[in-house]
Amino acid sequence: MDAPTYAVTADPLLKLTGLQSDHVGPVDLELAPGALLLIAGPSGAGKSLLLRAIADLDPHRGQVWLAGQPRATIPPALWRRQVGYLPADPVWWADTVDEHLTGVQDDWLQQLGFTPEVRQWEVERLSSGERQRLALARMLGNGPRVLLLDEATANLDPENTLRMEALVMGYVREREAGAIWVSHDHEQRDRLGGRLLMMDQGRLADPAMASRS
Ligand SMILES: Nc1ncnc2c1ncn2[C@@H]1O[C@H](COP(=O)(O)OP(=O)(O)OP(=O)(O)O)[C@@H](O)[C@H]1O
């Protein structure tokens, strides 16, 4: 009997070649399904601008692929759902929380320390930390394949930081998603594991490679 054949795809989940915008690049990068990439570096190095270019929120040059599909072939609104960008200060547009939570599972809200009643809350009353946690749930509700986390726990106390980390890592593992997490907190980076790249003056470098040379 013939050995079974499997559809093997060599495509990374996310691939960047020559990605460049004002203050950033060129950047080449590959992210595998289920992988976490950590980015650190000094203030003003271009970390946020890199994530924003990947999310197609700022003008840029170069190529970006999602699971082998060039970005140009994916409508922008769909791209932004599949490649979710979570800033430290997320914007809210409607009056109540629930209006932002399409597709959000109640167990995610629970993992983030909320009861389902949070859906009825007015956005106006939310603390900065509540906004940050709910913005993660909101982003996951879009079912992203790549998460771009820009100092996503910056406003949080230690307990809620751990909650967000656990939800992100659980989502990445279960969905075979990928995450790029910009974090200034070396303890957080140690907890999360994953490959670390340093950004300086718009360019990415692997500190492990630098220490070998
Ligand atoms: N709209 C803009 N116009 C001009 N310059 C900008 C703009 N946005 C960012 N910059 C500049 O680009 C550089 C990179 O900014 P970016 O926000 O990516 O830094 P960062 O590495 O995320 O810094 P931090 O760690 O402080 O958040 C900075 O010098 C910043 O001042």
Which of 49, 51, 150, 183 most suits a substitution to test ligand 1, by most atoms within 8 Å of the C-beta?
49
In tens, the pLDDT along 49-101 reads 999 999 999 999 999 999 999 999 999 999 999 999 999 888 999 999 999 99
Using the mean position of ligand 1's atoms as its centre, give its distance from the Cα of residue 64 in Å. 21
Say if ligand 1 is within 6 A of residue 192 CB.
no
- Predicted model pTM: 0.91
Q: What is the complex's ipTM, to 2 decimals?
A: 0.92
The alpha carbon of 44 and the centre of ligand 1 are apart by a number of angstroms equal to: 5
What confidence tier does 7 reach under pLDDT thresholds 50, 70, 90? very low
The rounded distance, in Å, linking the Cα atoms of 195 and 172 is: 15
| 104 close to 141: Cβ distance less than 8 angstroms | yes
The matching CATH number, chosen from 3.40.50.300, 1.20.1250.20, 1.10.150.530, 3.30.750.24, for 32-48+77-212 is 3.40.50.300
Nearest to 172, CA basis, from 59, 14, 21, 63: 14
Interval 157-177: pLDDT, tens: 999 999 999 999 999 999 999
pLDDT digit string (tens) for 179-205? 999 999 999 999 999 899 999 999 998
